Amino acid sequence: MEFIISGLILGLITSFHCVGMCGPIAIALPLHGSTKLQKLLGGILYNLGRTVTYMIMGMVFGLIGQGLGALGFQRWVSIITGVLMISTVFFPSIFKFSLGGVEKKGFSLINAVKKGLRRLFSTKSYLSLFTIGLLNGLLPCGPLYSALIISTGTGHAVSSVLFMMMFGLGTIPLLLVVTIIGNFVSGAIRNKVNKALPVVIVIIGILFILRGLELGIPYLSPTREKIEMKMNKTKKQQEGQTAEYSNHDSIPETRGCCGR
């Protein structure tokens, strides 16, 4: 449950960054229909397209984290996750992009995505809006990659997908408003959030590193023994609940001698 809430909060915070980076795309969307309801539906489809792409990415990264965890590398997954998150803050130039230009050699996938987006912007339909969202989710983005790295650290594919789903849903409200109304968020507010976002990412990265180091700090960096004890306790509780339900279902219905 904690990682679901964390994904939603990270998405809400990141949405202010998205307004600055992807706001022009959201404003320029070829919204289909003439009524406000039709345009709202188009904006929702675009944002759901992004979220679907995030979930697919979360599945891939979650499977990687799950595989490494099964091999006993969970603590190293946590440490590497923290290091990569901090790296996205100190090397932001890696994630910058321009929709109009052509990337350097080695970025053919990004170039293909850009060409597809430019072509779809000339078509007004619900399908094109959803597809724009799908492709937009593939564009380089520092906070998105940070979210994917966090999803890898969950150690389970399903948890990773849920985290990325909540992350995507968290970015929708503000971007949806920007899509329908326009860029109403002032530059001063966006600058403040953009300055705070790297700090949040670094803090989360440090927490992941501390967790992997197993320093014996309560809640922050528990030892492996503590983690295993908690996991075993949770497993026993789940098994006890399952057994209780099974026993309850197996109790035959009894009636009195007169059938009452």
Whole-number Å distance between alpha carbons of 248 and 259: 22
Matching residue, tokens 């891939």 = 60
**Quick one: pLDDT at residue 242?**
53
pLDDT class for 72, splitting at 50, 70, 90? Answer: low
- CB of 220 closer than 8 Å to CB of 203: no
Q: What is the pTM of this model?
A: 0.66
Instruction: Say which range, 50-59, 156-165, 191-200, 205-214, has the weakest mean pLDDT.
Output: 191-200
| pLDDT surpassing 80 at residue 130 | yes
CA-based nearest residue to 65, from 179, 175, 161, 153? 153
Q: Contact at 8 Å (CB) between 162 and 4? A: yes
Q: What pLDDT score does 100 carry?
A: 46
Amino acid at 199: V
**Structure-derived torsion over alpha carbons of residues 79, 83, 88, 91, reported in degrees to the nearest 10:** -170
Residues 164 and 147: beta-carbon distance below 8 Å: yes
With pLDDT > 70 as the criterion, what percentage of the chain qualifies?
66
- Give the per-residue pLDDT at 71: 63
Residue 48: predicted pLDDT: 94
Of 20-34, 41-55, 96-110, 120-134, highest mean pLDDT: 41-55
pLDDT tens digits for range 207-232: 878 877 877 777 666 666 665 565 55
Q: Which residues pair with 221 in a beta bridge?
A: 217
